[in-house]
Amino acid sequence: MGLKAQKKKLEVDFTFISPPYTKQDQQGLRNVSKDTWSDMLSLAKCEIVGQTSNEFFDSYVLSESSLFVYPTKIMIKTCGTTTLLLILEKLLEIAEKENLQKSFVCYSRKNFNFPHVQHSPHTGFEDEVSYLDKFFEGFGFVLGPLEGDHWYTYVADYNDSEFTLSNEPEITLEICMHDLSVEKMKQFYKGENFKSGKDTTESSGISNLLPGSTIDEFQFDPCGYSMNGLLGKSYSTIHITPEAHCSFVSYDTNITKKDLEKMGKSFESLILQVIQTFEPGRFSVTLFADDHSLENRETKTFNVFNNKSLKDEYKMVSKSFYEFEQSYNMTHQTFIKTQ
């Protein structure tokens, strides 16, 4: 089960090749059937175990994490020894049939705990970059210390099309947590007191992270938990491996700063609430954004989270910042418990 902590994440944004004239055309990737997605996901060695939708996007809980489908964007996160990048050829074929062309690509992952068990093309970051270069013209880079927790990212940007349905800026927050509180992790086992995944979502405090979200959760047997949350145009997702020797929790969301403020929160307070919910021994925070989505320089990603929020309970081990030629910037921070 420790292999579950080996997360891989792929986001591909598209634009329309020609103007979509009908409402059906404007649905883009949302016109694609569940069976078609299932066929594509089989290439990554995972399957759909739950599905939910709202007016903006479709959510799929997977046997190996999550898939979110917007009209012009797909985000898929897998774990373990999945072969995520092997979906690319099929994905681009699907997109072309829906009158879509690639616009922006971001593949990212934390350094693997067990790199020797991965399958091609995930046998190393250089191999992953070589495979991505078969489909895109991008570049790879690393944030964080190579001797400790660090973050690999590949980015390709083709944003020059006029046929977009939305130019709304976006932020993506990801928190990876290790060495979790044993007490907190007990609730993610299907023991004799287990009631339902919905009850676990409530009792664990997960439902309070982004109140008002429609949550589709799945509790695995004998242990493990996954959820997808839908809140307007924003997704959130949590995946939990609770075993003490390899405990891991990942949290991911593209909630906007404006929507957080509506519920009286900030990125800093959300991150702190996530940490308090799971009590990790160490964790990393990665925030990917563009300058326009952060309204002013004081709240740029580099300054979104600091030690003051954690008081003396954690210390920051590293902080890396990367600013792209376009408007994008990315921050990666790692923390460790002091007690």
Domain ranges of the chain: 1-162, 168-339
Task: Please tell me the predicted confidence (pLDDT) of residue 299.
Answer: 46
64 is catalytic: yes
In the chain, how many H helices and how many E strands? 9, 16
Lowest mean pLDDT among 166-170, 312-316, 321-325: 166-170
CA pair distance 175, 159, nearest whole angstrom: 27
| Residue 163 scores a pLDDT above 70 | no
Q: What is the mean pLDDT of residues 299-327?
A: 77
Name residue 112's amino acid.
F
Lowest mean pLDDT among 235-244, 290-299, 318-327: 290-299
Lowest mean pLDDT among 23-37, 57-71, 103-117: 103-117
Which one of 11, 46, 63, 64 is the catalytic residue? 64
Q: Report the percent of the chain where pLDDT is more than 70.
A: 89
- The fold of 1-162 is S-adenosylmethionine decarboxylase (3.60.90)
Task: Please tell me the predicted confidence (pLDDT) of residue 4.
Answer: 52
| Residue 166 scores a pLDDT above 80 | no
Which one of 66, 207, 213, 226 is the catalytic residue? 226
Residue where the block lists tokens 């609430």:
273
Task: Please tell me the predicted confidence (pLDDT) of residue 265.
Answer: 94
| Beta-ladder partners of 285 | 175, 333
| Residue 120 scores a pLDDT above 60 | yes
Cβ atoms < 10 Å from Cβ of 305: 26
- Band of residue 114 on the pLDDT scale cut at 50, 70, 90: low
Q: What is the mean pLDDT of residues 68-88?
A: 94
Task: Please tell me the predicted confidence (pLDDT) of residue 298.
Answer: 41
The per-residue pLDDT for range 175-198, each reduced to its tens digit, is 999 999 999 999 999 988 888 999
CA pair distance 248, 68, nearest whole angstrom: 22
Which one of 11, 59, 63, 79 is the catalytic residue? 79
The per-residue pLDDT for range 1-16, each reduced to its tens digit, is 444 557 899 999 999 9
End-to-end CA distance of the chain: 27
Hey, which bits of the chain come out as E strands?
A: 8-16, 48-53, 58-62, 65-70, 73-78, 100-110, 139-143, 151-157, 172-178, 214-219, 225-231, 234-241, 248-253, 282-290, 314-323, 328-337
CA pair distance 176, 252, nearest whole angstrom: 9
18 is catalytic: no
Task: Please tell me the predicted confidence (pLDDT) of residue 297.
Answer: 44
Task: Please tell me the predicted confidence (pLDDT) of residue 115.
Answer: 66
245 is catalytic: no
CA angle 252-257-262, nearest 5°? 110
Greatest alpha-carbon span in the chain: 60
226 is catalytic: yes
Q: Strands of 172-178's sheet, edge to edge?
A: 214-219, 225-231, 234-241, 248-253, 172-178, 282-290, 328-337, 314-323
| Residue 125 scores a pLDDT above 90 | yes
| Residue 148 scores a pLDDT above 90 | no
For 260, the enclosing helix (H) or strand (E) is: helix 257-262
Q: What is the mean pLDDT of residues 130-153?
A: 90
85, 89, 93, 96 alpha-carbon torsion, rounded to 10°: 70
Q: Which residues contact 146 (CB under 8 A, 6 or more apart)?
A: none
Lowest mean pLDDT among 71-80, 302-311, 317-326: 302-311
122 is catalytic: no
- The fold of 168-339 is S-adenosylmethionine decarboxylase (3.60.90)
Q: What is the mean pLDDT of residues 219-233?
A: 95
CA pair distance 185, 222, nearest whole angstrom: 13
Which one of 239, 243, 279, 320 is the catalytic residue? 239
**Secondary structure in 3-state letters for 163-218:** CCCCCCCCCEEEEEEECCCHHHHHHHECCCCCCCHHHHHHHCCHHHCCCCCEEEEE
Task: Please tell me the predicted confidence (pLDDT) of residue 5.
Answer: 53
Q: What is the mean pLDDT of residues 128-136?
A: 97
Q: Which residues contact 300 (CB under 8 A, 6 or more apart)?
A: 291, 294, 329
